[in-house]
Amino acid sequence: MRIEYSNKVIRTLTVKVTDKPGFLGKITTAIGECGGLIGEISTTHVGKGYKIRALDVYAEDENNLNEMLLALKNIEGSELVSVTDVVEENHMGGKIEIRPTVDINSLDDLRIVYTPGVASICHKIQQNPELARKFTTISNNVAIVTNGTAVLGLGDIGAVAGMPVMEGKGMLFKILADINGIPILLDTKDPEEIINTIKHIAPTFGAIKLEDIKAPECFEIEEKLDAMLDIPVLHDDQHGTAVVVLAALINIAKYTFLNLRESSVGIIGLGAAGTGIMKLLKAYGVKTFNGVDLDVSAMERFESLGGTRKDLRGVVSESRIVIATTGCPNLITPDMIQEGQVILALSNPNPEIDPDLAVKSGAIFAADGKSVNNALAFPGLFKGALISNARTINDQMKIAAAKAIASFALDGDLVPNILDKNVHNAVAKEVETAAYRSGSARYTEE
């Protein structure tokens, strides 16, 4: 299944607009007619008879952007003042940093937090290593580890090129869960080198988040490290995505009166995301899985997990719920859709079938990948694991996270607002509870 990579262009257009009814509408209409999308619109200056507006626009590529700019220049009563690459602006110098949590205003302050005062803390930890949770950041540090072999929709671009994504994950960890997410870039594709490297740096962290490592290597790396280390190791491309998909399906089942556990599930694309989704749905209680992938080893792995091999049409025709994670737009054609199906075409930016088209073709419910973002899951999932001092993040904890996410969705929505901190706090609390109930948590003395 061919993967098409996204090169979306985002720019902020500063436009001088005549302050009369209809003039701003002419601008937004022109952008829409060129196929562009509009994000935030703000007023940056009010003058006599005009306003300066800043519009965030999304274009398919540079040619599409130039088409929009030409259209705007031809609109009477407006003047294009500037075009700003807002993405580059916000990445200048990176997106994260390390800050001290104590003030140092004198030499006495320094002696307390560094030498000679620090020696007594070092001795305490030497005598009782568990005290590191109390006196250091270790229990709130998560390593975000990548070798850059499967970055977003960009593929194997290397670890350094993937650093902006890792910084983004670190930023979300801090903003949404107050966790120190620390990017670790590994310049190797050898699974054993990756495993050994992470093993040796693990004492710095309370958990390991594997990120953007391609299948099938990601499965071996996660499995071996999770067995080897006494802290959680989780490959987010598998399990973070799976948690949010399960949350969405819980709400779809509620809205459509579908019995999720008794429904047959078809998975198109059995890489990291597809396999993670299948594993978690099976843990939730779903019994019947049909699957397809061009990769023979992926199909064999799917069958070993209890799935049934089908071709593409067979998966769609014999499954009540169809989940596609291929990266191949328009792979599912309208004639394949069965009456009353649920279709989740999750590839971004272009899904395997447009949700509106799927519904017109008979689906009872359809959605694309815009709302199924694993950032809804991983901050709270890891926070709950860290608070409970969990040894691993097990299926009970993932299911608890999914249920918590689902419960915050507004009526009719699949999932809640990704920036709602209440959601992430609730996920953390439910994951912590599940960790204790399932035996993954460890009680520690304060």
Q: What residues are labeled active site?
A: 114, 169
Asked if residues 26 and 78 have their Cβ atoms less than 8 Å apart, the reply is yes
What the block records as the tokens of 236 is 């987010």
Q: What is the DSSP string of 342-373?
A: EEEE--SSS-SS-HHHHHHTT-SEEEETTS--
Match 């023979």 to its residue by tokens: 296
Cα 15 to the center of its chain, rounded Å: 34
Q: What angle do CA 155, 270, 396 make, to 5 degrees?
A: 105
Distance, CA of 27 to CA of 405 (rounded, Å): 38
Distance, CA of 272 to CA of 223 (rounded, Å): 13
CA 69 → CA 34, 36, 409, distances in Å? 10, 11, 38
Distance, CA of 216 to CA of 107 (rounded, Å): 53
Stated length of the chain: 446
Q: What is the DSSP string of 82-107?
A: EEE-HHHHHHTT-S-----SS---SH
Nearest Cα to 395, choosing from 261, 287, 273, 281? 281
